[in-house]
Amino acid sequence: MSEGIKFTPVDGGAQVDLLDYRAKVGARIDSNGNCTTNAFSGFKTGVSGNMTLLKLEKKFCDDVKLTGKGPSLGGDAGVFLGTENKIAAMVEPSLCKLEGQAGPLVGSVGLNANTGVKVCEEGVKCAWLGFGLTMGIGGKFSIDTPFGSAGVARKLTNSNQQTYTN
């Protein structure tokens, strides 16, 4: 059962958070391409942003999904404590990326130079020039290289999924 292809031509935004000040440029876009607003309470200071010029997504069935995107550049630097708990210093540049999930197996092929550390309630991600580990973030446990990654993740669900059928 095919649900169509989701196409996002421009996906980007930036945000600067200080104790009593927030500056935003563009729209905050989540990993599903949805525009988001933060209902955050607590201590939050830092900088985050992302820009993806092209994103294509195809869900073949409940357990199989394929996503292609790039070029993209994203990053986080800051401390977020309250309704969201995260400490991050990470930059994630990628020339292109094709990633897929089939049941619990995940993998990607592409060129990236991800560098930094993210620590949050879900887990830890650390990388240096593309080489690294993802342990729990986004429900994913993987070994990462500058040319791709492989690992396991939580099963795909239909919650928070939006697709546009052609």
Note the pLDDT tens digit of each residue in 103-128.
999 999 999 999 999 998 889 999 99
**Does 74 map to a domain?**
yes
**Torsion sign over Cα 137, 139, 142, 146:** negative
56 within some domain: yes
User: What's the predicted TM-score (pTM) here?
Assistant: 0.69
Non-local (6+) Cβ contacts of 79 within 8 A are: 43, 44, 45, 46, 86, 87
What is the per-residue pLDDT for 55? 86
pLDDT tens-digit readout, 27-69? 444 444 444 544 445 566 777 788 888 888 899 988 899 999 8
The pLDDT value given to residue 135: 94
Query: Is 110 a member of any domain?
Result: yes
Count of domains for the chain: 1
Instruction: Round to whole Å and give the CA distance between 142 and 160.
Output: 23
Pick the more confident residue, 79 or 43: 79
Answer whether residue 165 is part of any domain: no
Note down the domain range covering 103.
5-153
Residue 159, domain member (yes or no): no
pLDDT at 26: 47
